[in-house]
Amino acid sequence: MNQEKITAVIAMLREVEEDSCVPKNVKSKISITIKDLETSQEEISIKISRALHALEELTEDNNMQADTRTQIFNIVSTLEIV
C-alpha cells in the first residue's frame, strides 16, 4: 500500500517536472527527489523524510508560479499520509 502511494507521488512529481513553466533549478531538485524515492536500498521512512525536506525547500523558491507551488503542497500532503 505504501509503495502504491510512493508510485503515485512519483507520477505527480514527474508531471511537475515535465511542465514547461517550471524553472530549471526546481526541475533538477524534483528529478533528484524522484531518484531518491525510486531507490529501494533505504527504509521508506528515510526516503519520505528526505523527499519532504527537499519539497518543502522548493516551496520557498520565489521564481515558482503559484499553481506549481500548490501542486508541490499537494504532493507534500500525500507524502505525509504515507
* Phi-psi region at 65: left, alpha or beta (left = phi > 0; alpha = psi -120 to 50): beta
Q: What is the pLDDT of residues 11-43, one digit of tens each?
A: 999 999 999 999 999 999 999 999 999 986 888
C-alpha cell, 32: 533528484
pTM score, whole prediction: 0.89
Average pLDDT over the chain, rounded to an integer: 92
Q: Indicate whether 63 pLDDT > 90.
A: no
Can you tell me the distance from the alpha carbon of 44 to that of 29, in angstroms, rounded to the nearest whole number? 19
Q: What is the CATH number of the domain that holds 71?
A: 1.20.1440.50
Q: What is the domain count for the chain?
A: 1
Domain of residue 59 covers 2-81
Q: Indicate whether 2 pLDDT > 90.
A: no
DSSP secondary structure string, 29-77?
HHHHHHHHHH--SS-HHHHHHHHHHHHHHHTT-TTS-HHHHHHHHHHHH
